[in-house]
Amino acid sequence: MKLFSNEIVFRGHPDKVCDQISSAILDECLRKDEGSRCGVEVMGGKGKIFITGEITTKADFDAAAIARRVLRDIGYRDDYEIIDNIGKQSGDIALGTNDEIAGAGDQGMMFGYACNDTDRYLPKAMVILQELSRKYDELVHSHEDFYPDGKAQITGVYDDDFNILSIKDFTISYNNSEKNRKVTDAMLKDIADEICARYGLKVERYLINPTGRFEIGGFEGDAGLTGRKIVVDAYQSFANVGGGCMNGKDPTKVDLSGAYMARKYAKELLKKYDLKWCEIQMSYAIGLRRPLAIYIDSDKGNFMPEEQMYERGEPKHIIEELDMKHICYEKQAMFGHFYD
């Protein structure tokens, strides 16, 4: 037996708010100009939201208005001071990503993962937290005692084959009015119990707001930053994670497109070879089309990548195959990029 933990942050966590603002700006640029090149960074805290990064686009957009709309949608007030410091993408990067060269927008390594635990090809504990975070978002928009900020963590009991047997500790820290804690705590516990039961799991102990109170949250209680929750965005520690954030970046950036393709490869190989789990690493050099390497690991050992995986792994082909200029990245940034 062994213990293993995974975590999610709710949609209203300050880091996730910044992720959503970055991605919403990206969405607006791609909607109006599919050739947009974006790398948007957001930082927020103490009444101010600072938007910076690089964008080259023909799109006309208002970054501050987008940020205020995202804040309202999440459940926050929209009277923050917005500082727009966006610049243009470096021409040196553009040399390698234009339509003629169509190279990778950055160097780095990306990971994709899939397992046979659930019909979403994701671990049970990860899916449970994703479902809880969506239910929590519904509570925020339907119940005045729930505020947007929060996070949750599962410490599971696993056997030697890494099958989860039960949940030792289910930790939930949620921002609230602190006026009806017995009621709101019970609501969350009931929701979590119902989700866990669907996956055949029982919870031994709940730790709900372990400090005792969580009334001050959001940007008043903490600062937020785009890209600070890359483990939550990917596989919640069940797999390796590449070094780059997926939010606020157009799909010529392989931090985004390479990670999405690696996930697709992992699911394909899982089904083809009847694997329990599969993990893919893809690596790139800026300005070059072809991945430098594709590494495949699984419960049945390593596999050599087929040649067509390298061709399909070129950024231009990934964008076309996965239709990556027409994805709503703001939605992807809310609860983790890999929900299915």
Please name the residue that has the structure tokens 């049970």.
124
Residue 70 Cα to chain centre, angstroms = 16
143 is catalytic: no
15 catalytic per annotation:
yes
Say which DSSP state 139 is in: H
CA atoms within 13 A on the CB side of 120: 15
151 is known as an active-site residue: yes
Question: Active-site residue among 19, 27, 28, 41?
Answer: 41
Strand residue runs (E) in 130-247: 146-158, 164-176, 203-208, 224-225
Active-site pick, 249, 263, 267, 289: 249
Rounded-to-integer distance, Cα 3 and Cα 45, Å = 35
Q: Is 11 a catalytic residue?
A: no
Task: Tell me whether residue 190 is one of the annotated catalytic residues.
Answer: no
Catalytic position from the list 11, 253, 267, 289? 253
Determine which one of 27, 28, 106, 255 is catalytic.
255
Question: DSSP readout, 83-111?
Answer: EEEEEPPPHHHHHHHSTTT--BSS-EEEE
Q: Which one is catalytic: 7, 15, 233, 330?
A: 15
- How far apart, in whole angstroms, are the C-alpha atoms of residue 78 and residue 269? 45
- Residue 252, phi then psi, degrees to nearest 5: -70, -20
Based on the residue annotation, tell me whether 16 is a catalytic residue of this protein. yes
Q: Which of 7, 10, 11, 13 is catalytic?
A: 13
The active-site residue, picked from 162, 223, 312, 325, is 223
CA distance 275 to 233: 24
* Active-site residue, from 151, 263, 289, 337: 151
- Please tell me which residue in 170, 214, 238, 335 is annotated as part of the active site: 214
Task: Give yes or no: 214 in active site.
Answer: yes
Active site residue 169: no
To the query of whether residue 255 is one of the catalytic residues in this protein, the response is: yes
- State yes or no: is 222 an active-site residue: yes
Q: Choosing from 222, 268, 297, 321, which is the catalytic residue?
A: 222
User: Element (H or E) spanning 289, and its range?
Assistant: none
Of 4, 33, 50, 54, which is the active-site residue?
A: 54
**Calpha distance 307→293 (Å, rounded):** 11
Q: Is 213 exposed, middle or buried (0-12, 13-18, 19+ CB in 10 A)?
A: exposed
| Active-site annotation holds for 135 | no
- Spatial CB neighbours of 65, under 8 Å, sequence gap ≥ 6: none
Element (H, E) at 247: none
Catalytic annotation on 229?
Answer: yes
Which of 68, 124, 229, 263 is flagged as catalytic? 229
CB atoms within 10 A of CB 320: 12
Question: So which residues are the catalytic ones?
Answer: 13, 15-16, 41, 54, 151, 214, 222-223, 228-229, 249, 253, 255
